[in-house]
Amino acid sequence: MKKILELCKTAKSLKEIAQYFGYKDVYKFKNNYINSLLEQNKLQMTIPDKPKSRNQKYVSK
């Protein structure tokens, strides 16, 4: 999870993050890692009003 936060110092899309770590199933990756980081307020969305936006990116706090 620390590696995800380091990677997300600049805004990255879910697909970019998953590919960097070698995951093909972005939804499983999001459920296993991204959602928990969002709940812990360590990661934030660039478009919080539209969590399912195709332009959504994630950035570490």
Q: What is the pLDDT of residues 13-52, one digit of tens each?
A: 999 999 999 999 999 999 999 999 999 999 999 999 999 9
Strand runs labelled E in 1-61: 43-45, 58-60
Residue 17's CB is within 10 A of a number of other CB atoms, namely 22
Chain centroid, CA 33 distance in Å = 8
Pairwise CA distance, residues 15 & 54, whole Å:
10
What are the structural domain ranges in the chain? 2-60
Whole-number pLDDT of residue 34: 97
